[in-house]
Amino acid sequence: MSFVIEPPQTPSLPVVGTEDRFPIRRIFCVGRNYAAHAREMGNDPDREPPFFFMKPADAVAHDGDVIPFPPETNDLHHEGELVVALGKGGVDIDPSDALAHVWGYAAGIDLTRRDVQAVAKSMSRPWDLSKGFDNSAVIGPIHPANDVGGMNAGTLRLTVNGEERQNGDLADMIWPTPDVIAFLSRSVELAPGDLIMTGTPAGVSQLVPGDRVVVEIAGLSDLTVEIGA
Ligand code: MN
pLDDT at 45 over 80: no
Segment 143-176, tens digit of pLDDT: 999 999 999 999 999 999 999 999 999 999 999 9
Q: How far is the CA of 81 from the centre of ligand 1 (A)?
A: 7
Overall number of domains in the chain? 1
Coil, helix or strand at residue 71: coil
Q: What is the pLDDT of residue 108?
A: 98
Cα of 71 from ligand 1 centre, angstroms? 19
pLDDT, tens digit, for every residue of 179-204? Answer: 999 999 999 999 999 999 999 999 99
Asked which of 32-46, 77-91, 198-212, 214-228 is least confident by mean pLDDT, the reply is 32-46
| 16 Cα: distance to centroid of ligand 1 (angstroms) | 24
Instruction: Spell out the residues 6+ positions from residue 36 whose beta carbon is closer than 8 angstroms to its own.
Output: 45, 168, 172, 201, 202
Taking 90 as the threshold, does the pLDDT of residue 46 lie above it? no
CA of 206 relative to ligand 1 center, distance in Å: 14
Q: How many CB atoms lie under 10 A from the CB of residue 100?
A: 14
- Cα 197 to averaged position of ligand 1 atoms, centre (Å): 7
Residue 52 lies in a domain: yes
User: Is residue 5 one of the residues assigned to a domain?
Assistant: no
Which residues are CB-neighbours of 169 under 8 A, at least 6 positions away?
Answer: 153, 154, 155, 156, 201
What's the predicted TM-score (pTM) here?
0.96
Chain-centre distance of CA 62, in angstroms?
A: 12
- Which CATH number fits the domain that encloses residue 48? 3.90.850.10
